[in-house]
Amino acid sequence: MSNVYQATTSAPVNIACIKYWGKRNESLILPTNSSLSVTLSQDNLRSTTTARADPSFTTDRLWLNGKEDIIKPGGRLHTCITEMKRLRAEFEAANPDQPKIASFNVHICSFNNFPTAAGLASSASGFAALVYALSRLYVLPHSPEDLSLIARRGSGSACRSLFGGFVAWDMGSDDATGSDSKARQVAPESHWPEMEALICVVNDAKKGTSSTSGMQRTVVTSALLQHRISEVVPSRMAEIERAIADKRFGDFAEITMRDSNQFHAVALDTYPPIFYMNDVSRAIIAIITEYNRLSEQPKAAYTYDAGPNAVIYALTPNVREIAQLVLYYFPQAEKVFIGGKEVEAALPEGFNEAV
């Protein structure tokens, strides 16, 4: 019997608080600004990927949710797979006792257990799981930081899904090879376990303008982006890292909401403009704004990626109240549960219903 070379791993979605939007180098995927996200640890927002190398495979192939995706030469999938094979070849050269599998073709199967390409960061978990599965298949000694350099070449935000907890993607300054544009863990999940994310799926259809084409258009046409990357993001990155270190939720929330607002302002400033949020997204912003008015410090932070779905960050004691509030305005056909207990629609004390 021949040996089986196969590995399965999964990677979670991450949702940015400081948004990545714009590339300074398209092929290396080098961003115009650093970004920071929270990796979601729920089991129901993951990509699970199996990679297998076999001498009988005549070509590299990949299936996403059961449907074959073409691996275009020079494309992102191709780049990630080729880079991982190169690392395995180096590893084999340094460890002659290891089986020679770098030259085998690979078959890769990946499943997302949530809507693909609907602004729920499916490419982030997808490329992170792909790179991670190949690193396991190839038994590579590389750190998550090293692997983030390769996941970045698949989809920029994917580099952040190689870590749990609070994760920064430093834009780096090596424009020739991008060797310092990688992810870094700012704090593990255990640092602030009360931090939770409530995901409101407003629409799970595939988004209209892909992040790739949207970013290209923004970089070329938006004057606001230039202000954002030079004047706003650098200090915001430092501030949010400090807020996370000190567990100051109010500051974390304000920075997160301001950054989501500015990202969507930049999308609107793109010519022709891009709209990712819809009326429901904007209604959720109004509801959270009114909710935050009731307390001295914000207790909820909304954020939106390249789609209409809201992610609301909040601390555990407030999550049920926020879910009750959202359900009051948007009753669901199906029951919603938190911690095994059904959530009933309700308004908090003093809430102005006519938001």
* Interaction site with ligand PMV (CB under 6 A): 16, 19-21, 35, 121, 123-124, 155-157, 211-212, 305-306
> Of 243 and 343, which CB lies nearer to ligand PMV in the complex structure?
243
Q: Are 251 and 258 in contact (CB under 8 A)?
A: no
- What is the closest distance, in whole angstroms, from the C-beta atom of residue 142 to ligand PMV in the complex? 21
- What is the closest distance, in whole angstroms, from the C-beta atom of residue 350 to ligand PMV in the complex? 34
Q: Is 287 helix (H, G, I), strand (E, B) or coil?
A: helix
- What is the closest distance, in whole angstroms, from the C-beta atom of residue 119 to ligand PMV in the complex? 7
Instruction: Provide φ and ψ at 317, rounded to 5°.
Output: -65, -20
Q: What is the DSSP letter of 97?
A: T
* Token pair 């257990």: residue: 113
Helical segments of the chain, H only: 76-94, 122-137, 144-154, 211-221, 223-227, 233-246, 249-269, 279-293, 316-329
> Of 211 and 318, which CB lies nearer to ligand PMV in the complex structure?
211
> Of 101 and 129, which CB lies nearer to ligand PMV in the complex structure?
129
- What is the closest distance, in whole angstroms, from the C-beta atom of residue 124 to ligand PMV in the complex? 6
> Of 77 and 343, which CB lies nearer to ligand PMV in the complex structure?
77
Q: Residue 160 and residue 151: Cα distance in Å, rounded?
A: 9
Helices (H) and strands (E) in the chain, counts: 9, 16
Q: Is 339 helix (H, G, I), strand (E, B) or coil?
A: coil
- What is the closest distance, in whole angstroms, from the C-beta atom of residue 189 to ligand PMV in the complex? 18
> Of 36 and 101, which CB lies nearer to ligand PMV in the complex structure?
36
CA 329 to chain centre: 27
- What is the closest distance, in whole angstroms, from the C-beta atom of residue 120 to ligand PMV in the complex? 9
> Of 53 and 178, which CB lies nearer to ligand PMV in the complex structure?
178
List of residues 6+ apart from 50 with CB closer than 8 A: 6, 7, 8, 108, 109, 110, 133
Going by DSSP bridges, is the β-strand pair 300-304/35-39 parallel, antiparallel, or unpaired?
unpaired
Rg (CA), the chain: 21
- What is the closest distance, in whole angstroms, from the C-beta atom of residue 304 to ligand PMV in the complex? 8
CA 87 to chain centre: 25
> Of 18 and 137, which CB lies nearer to ligand PMV in the complex structure?
18
